[in-house]
Amino acid sequence: MLYREAGQFKTSYAADQQLFPIRQDRIGVLLLLAAAFLAVPGMASEYWFSAILIPFLIFALAALGLNILTGYAGQLSLGSAAFMAVGAYAAYNFQLRVEGIPILVSFALAGLTAAGVGVLFGLPSLRIKGFYLAVATLAAQFFIVWCLTKFPWLSNNSSSGVISAQKVEILGHIFESPREKYLLVLTVVVLMALAARNLVRTSTGRAWMAVRDMDVAASVIGIRLMPTKLLAFAVSSFYCGVAGALYAFCYLGSVEPDGFSLEMSFKILFMIIIGGVGSILGSFLGAAFILLLPIFLDVGLPWLAELFHLPFSTATVSHIQTLVFGALIMFFLIVEPHGLARLWQIAKEKLRLWPFPH
Amino acid sequence: MQFFFEVLIGGLLSGIMYSLVALGFVLIYKASGVFNFAQGAMVYLAALSVVGCMEKGAPLWLALILAFAVMTLFGIATEKFVLRKLVNQPPIALFMATIGLAFFVEGLAPMVFGSDPRALDLGIVDEPIESILESAGMVISKFDLVAAGVAAVLVTSLALFFQYTRIGRALRAVADDHQAALSIGIPLQHIWAIVWGVAGFVALVAGMLWGARNGVQFALTFTALKALPVLILGGFTSVPGAIVGGLIIGASEKLAEIYIPPVMQSLFGGNFGGIEGWFPYVLALLFLLVRPEGLFGERHIDRV
């Protein structure tokens, strides 16, 4: 009833091919954007901006990047955090070494640098498949972090590779408060998410999906595997790189190579699995879930302990967190292997008839 | 030259330790096609349960038996509550589930047995063998030799088990083709429980040796990361591959750690230690470019 596309006739190709072909989707997205741009900045507190909203958006962007590679092109990667590190350090170095370069340009260049590195580590994908490739991408993870730690030039000779991000200044305005940074990150993420949504329905996106479903068949129908796979690595790393730059400049302020650990790569992978492999929306849902879960556990566990008078030490609480995190991952995979995005799809189908199911 | 051989032999022997962990991966991947990331956590769980039982006053042999029981139960429970529910899911979902499992175990094990690092005494001393030290001037640890011996026995007995017993034959049948195995009446789920039990046993052995060497602590879970390059080098499906891969990785990683940093230092200046962390991966990666299925892995044939 509320969500029914019946009666929405398309009379031109442009109308048929628009990004959100269903009117309710368009309205929904606009409402969501209005809320994110107008309502949230007025309501959220400083803590919400700097501890929840900004990291959520940044990790959603990184998850989006990984989703392009894994969900759309079918190449499993365990090195996304390393590409974020490349982005962060590249943006830092462009700011440091190029006189007067605008920050957004250096973000874009950071993304391109990450894309270049991504292509380099994507080369093996032409020969290797599946888990062999996944393990091979671990080479990127360990090698890149090691390089950032050991080559002092990359971190301007700071000890153990820690860098402090420069000020974020656009057109003479300095983005300092969490609210301003949130708006900047939000703008970048929204634009890139729309671009991604557009990208996956072009011939490139369809070629990726064909390669994902079966690469031999894809090559038989005339898709050139090498450029297609490498482009997927490049675009994915670009997204991760920009996310990394935002991570350093708008979230933490100072980062070290070891922060971009394997654990972070796994986290991003969890986000797309929980959210939904091969879904733009899923990247956001997954990022929200994975980021909020530890916060809930942080708050909820001591409260439960007090409620039942259980003597939990801090060590026990952190063990329980790990345990619950692992258990929830397994639970989700068993209950809904296609992720939260699939739940939303089911909900949409129900909404089509609701509230009059017959 | 003598130093070179000393490093080489030390590397080969530590490679055996990697092989022990890689073996567990291979067993499970062979029989069920699951890339079990929780193998490192299983090593940790095994070592912790031995130490935990010994702290409660059990002698070593009893602790070992109890730990083996824990690992078997763990394997059966994993099969029953996780894998069975995920039948027919894509391999990546199963892989993710084992990462979840790894987190689960890493939280559960220290909660039950305590998380502080502890020493594990197997009664083998980690000191150089004097006769070799005197005659050839090389430092070779007794402990490493024992580990190598244990690995040899383990691999031989596993090979015999796979080749000659009824269960072993069933395991090979399942590894070849799930459907065909089911249709001739091999109970798939029993077989998987057994495989997880055997993998648990291998994890126990690895946990003992690694625990005795480095102490029983959380870092044991990282042994999985050491085993992964071994795995892709040797091939996911080959038991001998795990051993050969371990030897190659162990030796080359130690040699690289000794010989590459000075070269880099003379080129760029600064300190370039810690190559061990990524060198095995890059080596395995380069190797895969030549042989995409590893040394002994099954050649993958795509059918459209």
Residue A184 covered by a domain: yes
DSSP for B13-57, please give it: HHHHHHHHHHHHHHHHHHHH----TTHHHHHHHHHHHHHHHHHTT
pLDDT at residue B124 above 80? no
Nearest C-alpha of chain B: how many angstroms from A319?
4
Residue B300 covered by a domain: no
- How far is CA A42 from its chain centroid? 25
Instruction: Report the run of H or E that residue A170 belongs to, with start and end.
Output: strand A168-170
Residue B296 covered by a domain: no
B260 touches chain A (CB under 8 A): no
pLDDT tens, position by position, B84-123 = 888 777 777 888 889 899 999 999 988 888 878 888 777 7
Which of A132, A320, A328 is most worth mutating to test chain B (most B CB atoms within 10 A of its CB)? A132
Calculate the average pLDDT of chain A.
Answer: 88
If DSSP codes are grouped into helix, strand and coil, which group holds residue B118? strand
pLDDT tens, position by position, B199-240 = 999 999 998 888 888 888 888 888 888 888 898 888 888 888
* Nearest C-alpha neighbor of A207 from the set A189, A188, A229, A191: A229
Q: What is the pLDDT of residue B292?
A: 78
pLDDT at residue B186 above 80? yes
pLDDT at residue B132 above 70? no
Residue B227 covered by a domain: yes
According to DSSP H, which parts of chain B are helical? 2-32, 39-55, 60-78, 91-113, 130-135, 142-164, 166-176, 178-183, 188-214, 223-234, 239-268, 279-290
Complex ipTM more than 0.90, yes or no: no
DSSP for B62-88, please give it: HHHHHHHHHHHHHHHHHIIIIIGGGTT
Residue B126 covered by a domain: yes
Q: What is the pLDDT of residue B101?
A: 93
- CA B280, CA A319: separation in Å to the nearest integer? 31
Q: Which domain holds residue B212?
A: 2-290
Contacts of A48 (CB under 8 A, 6+ apart): none
Calculate the average pLDDT of chain B.
Answer: 84
Nearest C-alpha of chain B: how many angstroms from A197?
24
Residue A83 covered by a domain: yes
pLDDT tens, position by position, A276-306 = 888 999 999 999 998 988 888 888 877 877 7
Q: Do A323 and B272 touch (CB under 8 A)?
A: no
Of B35, B229, B277, the CB nearest to A146: B277
Residue A266 covered by a domain: no
Give me the number of domains chain A comprises. Answer: 1
Q: Residue B198 region, left (φ>0) first, then alpha (ψ -120 to 50), else beta?
A: alpha
Q: Do B304 and A334 touch (CB under 8 A)?
A: no
For residue A107, report the phi and psi dihedrals to the nearest 5 degrees. Answer: -60, -45
B232 touches chain A (CB under 8 A): yes
Chain A residues with CB inside 8 Å of B99's CB?
266, 269-270, 329
- How far is CA B176 from its chain centroid? 22
Q: What is the pLDDT of residue B226?
A: 84
Residue A223 covered by a domain: yes
Residue B117 covered by a domain: yes
Q: What is the pLDDT of residue A90?
A: 95
- CA A248, CA A240: separation in Å to the nearest integer? 12
Give me the number of domains chain B comprises. Answer: 1
Q: Do B93 and A337 touch (CB under 8 A)?
A: yes
Chain A residues with CB inside 8 Å of B236's CB?
131-132
Yes or no: say if B134 and B1 are a contact pair by the CB < 8 Å rule. no
From residue A138, give the alpha-carbon distance in Å to each of A251, B39, B278. 25, 17, 8
Residue A107 covered by a domain: yes
> What secondary structure letter does DSSP report for B297?
P
B262 touches chain A (CB under 8 A): no
- CA B82, CA B94: separation in Å to the nearest integer? 9
Nearest C-alpha of chain B: how many angstroms from A161?
13
Yes or no: say if A242 and A110 are a contact pair by the CB < 8 Å rule. yes
Residue B302 covered by a domain: no
If DSSP codes are grouped into helix, strand and coil, which group holds residue B216? strand
Residue B297 covered by a domain: no
- CA B149, CA B122: separation in Å to the nearest integer? 15
- pLDDT above 90 coverage of chain B, percent: 11
Give the bridge partners for A169, in sequence order: A174
Q: Residue A149 region, left (φ>0) first, then alpha (ψ -120 to 50), else beta?
A: alpha
Structure tokens of A121?
A: 């580590």
Q: What is the pLDDT of residue A358?
A: 66
Structure tokens of B98?
A: 């084992």
For residue B128, report the phi and psi dihedrals to the nearest 5 degrees. Answer: -65, 150
Of B89, B278, B300, the CB nearest to A142: B278
Which of A146, A149, A269, A277 is most worth mutating to test chain B (most B CB atoms within 10 A of its CB)? A146
If DSSP codes are grouped into helix, strand and coil, which group holds residue B141? strand
From residue B284, give the alpha-carbon distance in Å to each of A78, A131, B188, B263, B293. 16, 13, 33, 22, 11
Structure tokens of B86?
A: 């995920």
Give the residue ranges of chain A where pLDDT is below 50. Answer: none
> What secondary structure letter does DSSP report for B128?
B
Residue A130 covered by a domain: yes
What string of H, E and C letters represents the secondary structure of A119-169? Answer: HHHHHHHHCCCHHHHHHHHHHHHHHHHHHHHHCHHHHCCCHHHCEECCCEE
Q: Do A326 and B82 touch (CB under 8 A)?
A: no
- The CATH code of the domain that includes B45 is 1.10.3470
Contacts of B88 (CB under 8 A, 6+ apart): none
DSSP for A79-93, please give it: -HHHHHHHHHHHHHH
From residue B31, give the alpha-carbon distance in Å to each of A102, B169, B193. 56, 11, 10
Chain B residues with CB inside 8 Å of A160's CB?
none
Which of B115, B285, B290 is most worth mutating to test chain A (most A CB atoms within 10 A of its CB)? B285
Sequence letter at residue A284 = F
Q: Do A136 and B281 touch (CB under 8 A)?
A: yes
Q: Do B272 and A150 touch (CB under 8 A)?
A: yes
- CA B187, CA B292: separation in Å to the nearest integer? 33
- A168-170 and A173-175 beta bridge pairing: antiparallel
Residue B303 covered by a domain: no
Q: How does residue B136 score in pLDDT terms, banded at 50, 70 and 90?
A: low
Q: Which domain holds residue A62?
A: 22-259
Q: How many CB pairs under 8 A join A and B?
A: 141
Yes or no: say if B101 and A326 are a contact pair by the CB < 8 Å rule. yes
Chain B residues with CB inside 8 Å of A139's CB?
278, 281-282, 284-285
pLDDT tens, position by position, A2-44 = 777 778 888 888 888 888 888 888 888 999 999 989 888 888 8
Omega before residue A124 within 30° of 0, cis: no
Nearest C-alpha of chain B: how many angstroms from A346?
19
Nearest C-alpha of chain A: how many angstroms from B172?
21
Chain B residues with CB inside 8 Å of A277's CB?
92
Of B35, B92, B110, the CB nearest to A319: B110
- The dihedral built from the CA positions of residue B153, B159, B162 and B164, taken in this order, carries a sign that is negative
Instruction: Report the run of H or E that residue A34 belongs to, with start and end.
Output: helix A23-34
Average pLDDT (B153-167) is 86
Chain B residues with CB inside 8 Å of A136's CB?
232, 281, 284-285, 288
B187 touches chain A (CB under 8 A): no
